[in-house]
Amino acid sequence: MVPTVSVLIPTYNRATIITKAIDSALAQTYQSVEIVVVDDGSTDHTREVIAGYGDKIVYVYQENRGIAGARNTGFRHCSGAYIAFLDSDDYWLPEKLSRQMELFRQHPEYGMVACQCASIDAQGNFRKKNRPGASGWILEALFYKNFIRTSAAVVTRHCIETVGYFDESLRECEEYDLWLRIAARFPIGFINEPLAVYTDNPAGVSTDSLAGRLHRLRVLEKQYLQERIAPHLYSRRIADTCHYIGRHYGERGNFAEALQYLRRAQRLSPLFLKNLLYLSYYGLRR
């Protein structure tokens, strides 16, 4: 029997673009697909757009709780043994799920299978592929750099039930937090081909913003990672993150905060010369 993949699409006020995501899920060559759309309190005509799909879609409405809360609600309405994430401004190539489910068939021990994404701008111009990934026990590689886009990931229900849902206290980087928790408990498969398309929206949430980097630091500082990651790798990653947080604060003229993070980066990585330059510069500006 072919296992069902539940496609989980959270959305908020994207009635004008969500059909591209839904249509790409319906067009999958993989035969057993359930589509669950979680409307996180939209005030546009999202409900009417979804209604046009009839019983092809499981539609769930909730008061606005944010992306992590919407996905967690979606988990509770998914019936499949596998759950695929698809953001409402992204879309998939037709063979995406087939390719991923074949890798699961070959490696039933995997808790997640992801793939590369192509990246396009808001005008639909292709810009790049996101960074390549690795397969197996990849916690350290993933800790050093997140190479898994949300719309590229398929997880097993067993995996989610083991590691837990998204952390709703994180307003950003909640998906990275989940990937790391999965990688600490399960091997992961990765297909180094762009089978999903990520829309690079300059007005959207960026994990390279100050808020994004502060949330990332919260994720990286969790105790289990301190215990599992080699000390030199852990120190360098935290130092890098603190360095860029310091620069963000410095660009805003908040030199006391800037120096606090830059000093921490230097303590963790004494030979971090670029950080030393910024530390000296903002020290003089204070």
**Three-state helix/strand/coil letters over the chain:** CCCCEEEEEEECCCCCCHHHHHHHHHCCCCCCEEEEEEEECCCCCHHHHHHCCHHHEEEEEECCCCHHHHHHHHHHHCCCCEEEECCCCCEECCCHHHHHHHHHHHCCCCCEEEEEEEEEECCCCEEEECCCCCCECCHHHHHHCCCCCHHHCEEEHHHHHHHCCCCCCCCCCHHHHHHHHHHHHCCEEEEEEEEEEEEECCCCCCCCCHHHHHHHHHHHCCHHHHHHCCHHHHHHHHHHHHHHHHHHHHHCCCHHHHHHHHHHHHHHCCCCHHHHHHHHHHHHHC
Check pLDDT > 80 for residue 203.
no
| Predicted local distance difference test score (pLDDT) of residue 284 | 79
199, pLDDT greater than 90: no
pTM (2 d.p.) = 0.94
Q: 34-77, pLDDT tens digit by residue?
A: 999 999 999 999 999 999 999 999 999 999 999 999 999 999 99
The answer on pLDDT for 225 being more than 80 is yes
Query: Is it the case that residue 129 has pLDDT exceeding 90?
Result: no
pLDDT confidence bin for 188, thresholds 50/70/90: very high
Note the pLDDT of residue 190: 98
